[in-house]
Structures are given as structure tokens and as C-alpha cells.
Amino acid sequence: MNELWSYLETNGGNVLTALLQHIWLALLPVAIAFVLSLPLGALAHRYGPVRHVALTTGSVVYTVPSLALLLLLPGILGTSVLDPLNVVIALTLYSLALLVRTTADGLDAVDSTVLQAATAMGYRPLRRWFAVQLPLAMPVILTGLRVATVANVSMVSVAALIGIGGLGQLFTRGFQLGFYLPPIIIGLVLSVTLAVIADVLIVALQRGLTPWSRAGAR
């Protein structure tokens, strides 16, 4: 315990920087992927061939090991190996692969009679999408967002292996110092805490946005 405190005292600044970096490296890709997944998921929901291509591509992307992707991307994008952009893009791809699928699934799950009713009430397509379709798909979409966010928080650690910041740096530091535990434990605790907090926040968001989805139990 004492060792942990003394490590924090001397390296507190580094730990904080790593934590903040971890947060934005993990969350920025989810945010980008979330925004992109709405139109892509809608297309996949609507057009069979788009769905097929999008979901197959997604599955393939998911099978590429993260470390390999991080090493490949600079070659494809022409970025430097140490550019955090590689991490952001790699994790955006992973999140997107997951979220497009859940968005399409969420839209599929919306009762078609409800949509017909909306059209018959006089909704124009765009307004119907935002006022009826999207809200009704939200429970499934947010479940996907939960999985993607937690997965990202853990995956960012891998970025340290190619020399990019985040809590993963604390692990590599510990190994470099001959399996010196304090940084490893601190990194582990912070990364798990971060994942739990993110999860709780999304669940809270889910409850706030979709109070009706729990109203069914009579």
C-alpha cells in the first residue's frame, strides 16, 4: 500500500495525464462511431444488400487483432506510428462494426404497425425518423453503445505497446521496471473504475431517455 502512495506522490502528474488521455482515446472513437452508425445503421436496416456488406465488413474488422490494426494503419493512412490518430481510427472502426449492427437491429425491432400509424397520422419521413423510429430503436442502440464503450476502455491499453499514451503506459512501465507492481495495480484499478463509471453513466442515460421501455411490466 505504501508503495502505491509513494508511486502516486512522485508520478501523480504522469498518472493523471495517462488517465485523461485514456478517457479521450476511449470515448472519442465511440462518439464518432455512434454518430456515423445512425445513418449507416439506417441504410443497413432499409436496404438488404447494404446490410449484408456492412455487417460482413464489420465482422471482418472485428477479427483483425487490435495490435495488428494499430501497426497497419500508419502504412495505410500515411500517419506517423506514434500518432494518436491511429488509435482513434482503429477504435472507431471497431466501435462502428458493433454499433452499425445494433442500430440496424434496433430499427428492425420497431413494430411496423406503429410506423404505419405514424405515416397515417401525417408524419413526413424525416420527422418520423427522429420522432418515432429512432426513439423506439434507442433501447437496443444504447445496449450496443454500452458494450462498445466498455470494450474501448479496455482496448485503449493496447495502444501503449506502440508507444501511445493512456493507462496502458502504466503497465508497460511496470514491466520495464522488472514487474514493478504499483503502476500496474494503479493502471488496472483506474481502467476498471473508468469502465464501470462509463457503464453506469450510459445506464443512467438509458433510463432517462427511455422511461417507457420499463413501463411494460404490469
Tell me whether residue 119 or residue 193 sits nearer to other proteins (CB atom): 119
Q: Give dist(CA 41, CA 105) in Å, integer.
A: 8
Q: Give Cα separations from 7 to 15, 132, 191, 199 (angstroms).
A: 10, 53, 17, 28
The site for other proteins (CB under 8 A) is made up of 111, 113-114, 116-124, 132, 135-136, 210-213, 215-216, 218
Q: How far is the CB of 110 from other proteins (least distance, A)?
A: 9
Tell me whether residue 134 or residue 184 sits nearer to other proteins (CB atom): 134
Tell me whether residue 54 or residue 137 sits nearer to other proteins (CB atom): 137
Question: Which residues have CB under 8 Å from 3's CB, separation 6+?
Answer: 181, 182
Q: Give dist(CA 26, CA 91) in Å, integer.
A: 8
Tell me whether residue 98 or residue 136 sits nearer to other proteins (CB atom): 136
Q: How far is the CB of 206 from other proteins (least distance, A)?
A: 13
Tell me whether residue 129 or residue 171 sits nearer to other proteins (CB atom): 129
Q: How far is the CB of 123 from other proteins (least distance, A)?
A: 7
Q: How far is the CB of 31 from other proteins (least distance, A)?
A: 24
Question: Which residue in this structure is represented by grid cell 502512495?
Answer: 5
Q: How far is the CB of 200 from other proteins (least distance, A)?
A: 23
Q: Give dist(CA 61, CA 125) in Å, integer.
A: 32
Question: Which residues have CB under 8 Å from 22's CB, separation 6+?
Answer: 153, 156, 157, 165, 166, 167, 168, 190, 191, 194
